[in-house]
Amino acid sequence: MSEDRYTVISADCHAGADLLDYRPYLEKRYHDDFDAWAATYVNPYEDLLADAADRNWNSDRRLAELEADGIVAEVVFPNTIPPFFPSGSLSAPVPTREEFERRWAGLRAHNRWLADFCSAAPDRRAGVFQILLNDVPQAVKEIRRAAGAGLRGGLLLPGTPPGSGLPELYSAAYDPIWAVCEELDVPVNHHAGSASPPLGDEPAARAVFMVETTWFSHRALWHLVFGGAFRRHPGLKLVLTEQGSGWIPGVLDMLDYYHGRLVAASTRAATAEAKFGAGLATSMSEGPSQVWRSNCFVGASFMRPHEVPLRDRIGLDKIMWGSDYPHDEGTYPYTREGLRYAYAGVPSEEVAAMVGGNAARVYGFDLSVLDPIAAKVGPTVEEIAEPLPEPPADATSPVFARGGSVRVW
């Protein structure tokens, strides 16, 4: 933060290559397969077919639009479809071993492309790389390679939705992944939408997806907590992104309740509940709230007004605001208005932590480099302190949704 302007770092942006631009990043032995795949591939996402799709890969346009929106740096999650995938889902069923190998090749191509994209503005981009969970040794190898290539945004953790056939995230099978992330100080990011099972094509499917998708993403928290990942790897960092933040205090209360109840029950062998708590105290060592305080963070994309009063219960040092650029539900081009809508009246030092300081600490941004840029383009402290009378008429972000100040999910 400069003297009178905020240094805004978006902890949730998205990027990816135009489809054919992934080809040079594939190993040559996959080029013919890629040509055949790309010739018939139909992109399922409307925003990747629109005129504005190049926001995903046009570096100059991206820097200009983010600066105009008051943002000086970003954590870059994937967006476009990697080669050989039917969609962006890392948990999509894999029919054959050959197809599995092609998808790994596609993810490596994306990660290589993203490293180059971030290198065009290395102080201002922290890229998040992708892996698959089906082959843990290969995942560990790619984590080392991607981190070594400069992708300091960390790992995008796939979900294990029902029907995926993968071990649950609490499984010790993933310990080599947690170990290498701890060793290299690589954040483990779990983004909303990556853990939901397929719901089919019925008319209600989209509504049900909206109701359930964040819950399926939240599961990573209690899986890793109860699975003891943080006891075995105390330096591991988990970031839950674009899942809201208002749910966190209530869920931590619930997890603490079950933890205490089951640990206590485990000492009373004659009770029916004893078996549910067996070994829990040893495997976890600390309660869920303490694990949250020690190891977890929230990428609180376009934080809503009702979530801000909960900041002390969530942890002021845990919250990282995000714009979700270039998605339609993101705050662009009304980030300043979105920040006013959420943070007017909040002490400036607290706003500074949530909109940039925390992300700088978690993802390794150098504020001595970013603050001078923010001194020119960042929103002013005075501006954000002024309440927003009315949301912009054409704003599409849920931060401005009617009733947004009273909803609790």
Q: What percent of the chain has pLDDT over 90?
A: 77
Residue 409 has pLDDT above 80, yes or no: no
70-84, 91-105, 139-153: least confident range: 91-105
The pLDDT of residue 222: 97
Q: Classify residue 93 as exposed, middle or buried by CB count within 10 Å of its CB (0-12, 13-18, 19+).
A: exposed
Whole-angstrom distance, CA of residue 398 vs CA of residue 409: 12
Q: How many residues does the chain have?
A: 409
Whole-angstrom distance, CA of residue 127 vs CA of residue 10: 12
Question: Is 407 inside any structural domain?
Answer: no
Whole-angstrom distance, CA of residue 314 vs CA of residue 316: 7
Question: Is 3 inside any structural domain?
Answer: no
Give me the chain's average pLDDT, please: 93
Mean pLDDT over 89-114 rounds to 88
Q: At what angle do helices 205-226 and 248-266 cross, to 10 degrees?
A: 50
Mean pLDDT over 169-179 rounds to 97
CATH number assigned to the domain comprising residue 396: 3.20.20.140
Question: Is 177 inside any structural domain?
Answer: yes
What is the domain range of residue 57? Answer: 8-400
Residue 404 has pLDDT above 60, yes or no: no
Whole-angstrom distance, CA of residue 343 vs CA of residue 253: 25
**pLDDT tens-digit readout, 12-64:** 999 999 999 999 999 999 999 999 999 999 887 777 777 889 999 999 999 99
Report the domain count for the chain: 1
Question: Is 2 inside any structural domain?
Answer: no
Question: Is 226 inside any structural domain?
Answer: yes
Whole-angstrom distance, CA of residue 345 vs CA of residue 322: 20
Residue 170 has pLDDT above 60, yes or no: yes
Whole-angstrom distance, CA of residue 229 vs CA of residue 287: 13
Question: Is 408 inside any structural domain?
Answer: no
Mean pLDDT over 124-138 rounds to 96
Residue 280 has pLDDT above 90, yes or no: no
The pLDDT of residue 284: 87
**pLDDT tens-digit readout, 1-17:** 777 999 999 999 999 99
Whole-angstrom distance, CA of residue 331 vs CA of residue 24: 33
The pLDDT of residue 314: 98
The pLDDT of residue 28: 98
Mean pLDDT over 182-208 rounds to 90
130-134, 242-246, 277-281, 315-319: least confident range: 277-281
Band of pLDDT at residue 407, cut at 50, 70 and 90:
very low
Q: What percent of the chain has pLDDT over 70?
A: 97
Residue 401 has pLDDT above 50, yes or no: yes
Whole-angstrom distance, CA of residue 379 vs CA of residue 331: 14
Report the 10 Å Cβ neighbour count for 223.
18
Band of pLDDT at residue 86, cut at 50, 70 and 90:
confident
Residue 309 has pLDDT above 50, yes or no: yes
Mean pLDDT over 80-95 rounds to 78
Question: Is 141 inside any structural domain?
Answer: yes
174-188, 193-207, 351-365: least confident range: 193-207
**pLDDT tens-digit readout, 312-356:** 999 999 999 999 999 999 999 999 999 999 999 999 999 999 999
Segment (H or E) for 135: none
Residue 87 has pLDDT above 90, yes or no: no
